[in-house]
């Protein structure tokens, strides 16, 4: 056994070394003073854009990333929670609230973001969803020509390299760089969830196909038990092959340089290796720093709400609603006990698990324990092809099965001790269902706290400012609880863990008011921050970029990432951000006369 552990560890280290060798160089090329395109941020969108734009050998492209390299350990799906504790996370926190995040330290929700090559695609839970076709038709309806589902479907197909065997054949992409697959390990709890949802009336189907309503084992951005980040998808294959693409890591862009007279972006200031450099852009600067940093960077550069900028002592160059329209998905997870085996932290150290991972299978391939997913249109249960308002997803462990989970969420110790410590003490089998609201109506805002680019901006999540969001959360939660009446869950003796929230004791247990209180406590972010540089037509005063993602009023400046979403889509956004970046790359190529 011991020899086995050593051999398996050596094999893991060997694979890790192999991965290090796939990471793009960042010191082989000196940064030059001028490029055709500068892409800020190597996240989901940034890696995609850098790879696609550098397909033209005549264009010199510079990709700047504040974080460091991606490592194999980050790509072991089961350890996803732990990454949030490391320095590859920006570790943002929302401003305190008196009606949300009440179970978290100081009533502030932790908002992790990837600070690493691959950005949040390296920190995320790899749940793969496209959203609903109506989400994109709605974007088009809002005046964004070219963004209807029919328009964007080719871009989804372009990046997808799906191996999901039962995917809708005419809807799926099989040859793209981003691997999408089922995890080749399933727990009996996931089987119970899939069964129970069908007994509740859902069909088992490809929720990324024609109809989203339904239940399925999770499609993931993994392949052979390994995370498929944007960095791995787009940049690893280019290593050493694109002399016109320079990548600089640990490089924080502190300002986009904009000529105040011509209102033209002409470069960036970047802080790296202890120095500040001025790098010029002959054609364009593309900001792909994500939904928190993109608005921060624009505001620091003079692009944003004039009143706020003036208060901060920044001269406004374009008066735009940057930082407004912030959206996110939340889910008040509910815990259940079972007689089936759930994930337990001690098991992570089982030599057989490592052994199976080295054979590219087994529980290490499970993305943070997320295993199955289902979509309901609660307002229109009679419609087979509805527009779901609730997603339930299953995690095959509990708050207690892994110390990183409650730390990552920043749960108050008193709440943890009252509600979950017993699960840990008695070593119970337990799992969670997250009822995620799909189309929240509350809107938050990102504001500058300081003009220092190294200081974090203020995040006002404004969760539950709209009463609909509380109501739909409660209804989703009740749907999750009701599934326990189905045979699938009965078979594994699944029961709601009915420890009360200590600070909701004023309400009758399980009354609507109690659940409202619960929802306001367990405001778990599902990390889908978006919308802060809204795309819209000129007539939309809240729009920051036009439908070709050009910043209004400033030439040669675009934003392409999750922040351009006018309304958050009904699912998890990593895939849709790949789509946005693929489409942005094509529009940029078109605008600069490059034909493939």
**Given 127, 196, 395, 446, the residue binding ligand FAD (CB under 6 A):** 127
Per CB under 6 A, does 289 bind ligand FAD? yes
528 is catalytic: yes
Give the residue with the Cβ less far from ligand FAD, 68 or 351.
Answer: 68
Give the residue with the Cβ less far from ligand FAD, 139 or 515.
Answer: 139
99 is catalytic: no
Per CB under 6 A, does 124 bind ligand FAD? yes
Question: What is the torsion angle, in degrees rounded to the nearest 10, for the CA atoms of residue 511, residue 513, residue 514 and residue 515?
Answer: 90
Per CB under 6 A, does 67 bind ligand FAD? yes
Per CB under 6 A, does 304 bind ligand FAD? no
Which DSSP letter does residue 507 get? S
Per CB under 6 A, does 114 bind ligand FAD? yes
Q: Is the CB of residue 463 less than 8 Å from the CB of residue 508?
A: no
**Given 60, 93, 108, 115, the residue binding ligand FAD (CB under 6 A):** 115
The binding site for FAD comprises 116, 253
- DSSP reduced 3-state for 424: helix
Binding window for ligand FAD (CB under 6 A); candidates: 185-193, 238-246, 471-479, 573-581: 573-581
Binding window for ligand FAD (CB under 6 A); candidates: 123-131, 151-159, 160-168, 335-343: 123-131
Per CB under 6 A, does 242 bind ligand FAD? no
Report CA 175 to chain centroid distance, whole Å. Answer: 23
Taking CB under 6 A as the criterion, which residues in 518-557 touch ligand FAD?
527-528
d(CA 264, CA 260): 7
Per CB under 6 A, does 573 bind ligand FAD? yes
Taking CB under 6 A as the criterion, which residues in 394-423 touch ligand FAD?
none
Catalytic-labelled residue, pool 219, 329, 521, 572:
572
Q: Which residues lie closer than 8 Å to 382 by C-beta, 6 or more apart? A: none
Per CB under 6 A, does 123 bind ligand FAD? yes
Per CB under 6 A, does 51 bind ligand FAD? no
Q: Which residue is nearest to ligand FAD (CB)?
A: 43
Which DSSP letter does residue 533 get? T
For 234-273, the DSSP string reads IIGGGTTT-TTEEEE-SEEEEEEEEETTTTEEEEEEEEET
Give the residue with the Cβ less far from ligand FAD, 103 or 405.
Answer: 405
Sign, CA dihedral 412-439-370-173, equals: negative
Three-state SS across 432-462?
Answer: EEEEEECCCCCCEEEECCCCCCCCCCEEECC
Per CB under 6 A, does 293 bind ligand FAD? yes
Binding window for ligand FAD (CB under 6 A); candidates: 120-128, 351-359, 413-421, 460-468: 120-128
Q: Which residues lie closer than 8 Å to 276 by C-beta, 6 or more apart? A: 254, 269, 270
Q: What is the residue whose two structure tokens read 């340089």?
A: 257
Q: Is 523 exposed, middle or buried (0-12, 13-18, 19+ CB in 10 A)?
A: buried
Work out how close the CB of 290 gets to ligand FAD at its nearest, in angstroms, rounded to a whole number. 3
User: CA nearest 328: which of 524, 548, 197, 546?
Assistant: 524
**Given 61, 63, 64, 320, the residue binding ligand FAD (CB under 6 A):** 64
Binding window for ligand FAD (CB under 6 A); candidates: 52-60, 337-345, 377-385, 572-580: 572-580
Per CB under 6 A, does 288 bind ligand FAD? yes
Residues, the chain: 596
d(CA 313, CA 104): 34
Per CB under 6 A, does 208 bind ligand FAD? no
Q: What is the residue whose two structure tokens read 């999408």?
A: 180
* Active site amino acids: 528, 572
Q: Which residues bind ligand FAD (CB under 6 A)?
A: 40-46, 64-67, 84, 112-115, 119-121, 123-127, 252-253, 288-291, 293, 297, 527-528, 561-562, 572-575, 577
């Amino acid at each position: 056994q011991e020899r086995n552990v050593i051999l398996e560890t050596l094999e893991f280290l060997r694979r890790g070394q192999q991965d290090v060798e796939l990471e793009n160089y960042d010191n082989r090329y000196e940064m030059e003073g001028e490029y055709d395109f500068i892409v800020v941020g190597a996240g989901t969108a940034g890696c995609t854009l850098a790879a696609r734009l550098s397909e033209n050998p005549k264009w010199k492209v510079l990709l700047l990333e504040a974080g460091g390299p991606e490592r194999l350990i980050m790509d072991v799906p089961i350890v996803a929670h732990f990454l949030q504790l490391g320095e590859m996370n920006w570790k943002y926190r929302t401003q305190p609230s008196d009606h949300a995040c009440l179970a978290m330290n100081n009533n502030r929700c932790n908002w992790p973001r990837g600070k690493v090559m691959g950005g949040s695609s390296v920190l995320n839970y790899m749940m793969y969803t496209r959203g609903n076709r109506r989400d994109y038709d709605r974007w088009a309806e809002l005046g964004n020509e070219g963004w209807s589902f029919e328009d964007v479907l080719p871009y989804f197909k372009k990046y997808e390299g799906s191996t999901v065997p039962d995917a809708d054949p005419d809807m799926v992409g099989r040859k793209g760089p981003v691997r999408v697959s089922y995890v080749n390990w399933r727990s009996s709890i996931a089987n119970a969830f899939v069964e129970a949802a069908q007994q509740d009336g859902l069909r088992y189907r490809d929720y990324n196909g024609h109809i989203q309503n339904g239940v399925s084992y999770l499609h993931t951005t993994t392949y052979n038990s390994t995370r498929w980040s944007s960095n791995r998808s787009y940049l690893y294959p280019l290593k050493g092959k694109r002399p016109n693409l320079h990548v600089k890591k640990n490089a924080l862009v502190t300002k986009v340089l904009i000529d105040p007279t011509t209102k033209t972006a002409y470069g960036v200031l970047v802080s790296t290796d202890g120095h500040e450099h001025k790098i010029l852009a002959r054609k364009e600067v593309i900001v792909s720093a994500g939904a928190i940093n993109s608005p921060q960077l624009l505001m620091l550069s003079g692009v944003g709400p004039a009143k706020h900028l003036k208060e901060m002592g920044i001269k406004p160059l374009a008066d735009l609603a940057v930082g407004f329209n912030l959206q996110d998905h939340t889910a008040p997870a509910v815990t259940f006990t079972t007689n089936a085996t759930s994930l337990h932290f001690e098991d992570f150290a089982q030599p057989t698990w490592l052994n199976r991972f080295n054979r590219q299978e087994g529980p290490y391939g499970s993305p943070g324990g997320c295993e199955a997913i289902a979509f309901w249109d609660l307002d229109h249960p009679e419609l087979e092809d509805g527009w779901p308002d609730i997603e339930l997803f299953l995690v095959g462990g509990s708050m207690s099965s892994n110390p990183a989970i409650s730390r990552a969420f920043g749960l108050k110790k008193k709440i943890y001790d009252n509600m979950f410590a017993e699960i840990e003490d008695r070593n119970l089998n337990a799992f969670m269902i997250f009822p995620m609201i799909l189309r929240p109506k509350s809107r938050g805002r990102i504001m500058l706290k300081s003009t220092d680019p190294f200081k974090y901006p203020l995040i006002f999540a404004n969760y539950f400012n709209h009463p609909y969001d509380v109501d739909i959360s409660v209804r989703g939660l009740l749907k999750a609880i009701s599934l326990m009446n189905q045979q699938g869950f009965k078979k594994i003796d699944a029961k709601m863990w009915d420890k009360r929230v200590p600070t909701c004791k004023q309400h009758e247990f399980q009354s609507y008011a109690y659940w409202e209180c619960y929802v306001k406590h367990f405001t778990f972010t599902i990390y889908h921050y978006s919308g802060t540089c809204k795309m819209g037509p000129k007539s939309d005063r809240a729009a920051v970029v036009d439908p070709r993602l050009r910043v209004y009023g400033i030439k040669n400046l675009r934003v392409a990432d999750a922040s351009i979403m006018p309304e958050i889509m009904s699912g998890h956004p990593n895939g849709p951000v790949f789509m946005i970046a693929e489409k942005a790359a094509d529009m940029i190529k078109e605008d600069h006369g490059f034909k493939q």
